[in-house]
Amino acid sequence: MLHAHLSPGPLPSRMQLTKDGKLKHFLTIEGLPPLLLEEILDRAEQFVTLPNKQQKKAPLLRGKTVMNLFFENSTRTRVTFEIAAQRLGADVTNLDIRTSSASKGETLLDTVRNLEAMNADMFVVRHEHAGAAHFIARYCAPHISVLNAGDGRHSHPTQAMLDMFTIRQKKGSFQPLKVAIVGDVLHSRVARSQIHALTTLAAGEVRVVAPKTLVPAGIERMGVNVFHHMEQGIEDVDVVIMLRLQRERMQTALLPSEREFFKLYGLTEERLQLAKPDAIVMHPGPINRGVEIDSRVADGLQSVILEQVTNGIAVRMAVMSMIMGSQGGAA
């Protein structure tokens, strides 16, 4: 639980950076300069191109302790963060919230204070409440860095960066691209971070495609074009990013049924033909087959979904090594 007297609140993006512009924390993509995002992509490229044996011998975090604090369930994100930290030579601890003192009512701040006392150097945080990672970054010891692994509906910056890495890997420059983000945008922290990343990297056009009930009010101010018809939204795009329906975050009935959603917004082979012939299909996972995407598309030749997972390790290695570099702990 969050401390009763300490609200996370919005924090300036400069909080993430040191005085000389290097990463101190990685909490959100909003407000970060394009050169820094490109530096993350370039650094990740170095880890991807290393042979596997060399990847496992990149001890840039040797002697450091990384603690994974996952207050929500996760498979891909938690495991890839763990692999990334291990490949960089760090000691990794996974806090099991179900058996920790947090399940007995301990505040988030008290949990952090106790983990600080165990000489942590980096916290990787996933939490159901927006702002939880910012809160920890604000109040943790100065030598500790915080990586946001997803907070409420707010932000999931490393997922967005691995998506940008995959797009650049397949398409090269962002400038000429039309990208459609399709599905439950209302509840998606991934979509918000993707939009910030794509607009910062100057993508040609970013589209949001969803029923009116699943589009946040005023999202046009983020620099996107909104479509409520699937066929119009994915026409002539270079990249289709499908999102999962997040039933667990829906407090009211926003859809008639999953079958109706698939009928109107599901990505099928027939609909994918409306995009460019070489369009790629992405999904941050987990996939709901037959709800937002047909299996023939998810497993088809244009799908890069599993490559996204693989790239997640390299991108998280890049972010961790850059943060430790800003602390003088890695080159």
Instruction: Write out the binding residues.
Output: 76-77, 104, 126, 156, 159, 189, 244, 285-286
Please report, in range form, the residues annotated as the binding site for L-aspartate: 104, 189, 244
For residue 320, give both structure tokens: 């961790």
Give the Å distances, CA to CA, from 314 to 70, 173, 256, 302, 323.
Answer: 20, 20, 40, 22, 14
Please tell me the distance from the alpha carbon of residue 121 to that of residue 123, in angstroms, as a whole number. Answer: 7
Give the Å distances, CA to CA, from 98 to 55, 69, 152, 215, 319.
Answer: 32, 11, 19, 33, 28
For residue 25, give both structure tokens: 């924390």
Give the Å distances, CA to CA, from 113 to 27, 66, 271, 302.
Answer: 19, 15, 51, 47
Please tell me the distance from the alpha carbon of residue 265 to that of residue 241, in angstroms, as a whole number. Answer: 12
**Coil/strand/helix, residue 180:** strand
**Coil/strand/helix, residue 211:** coil
Please report, in range form, the residues annotated as the binding site for carbamoyl phosphate: 76-77, 126, 156, 159, 285-286
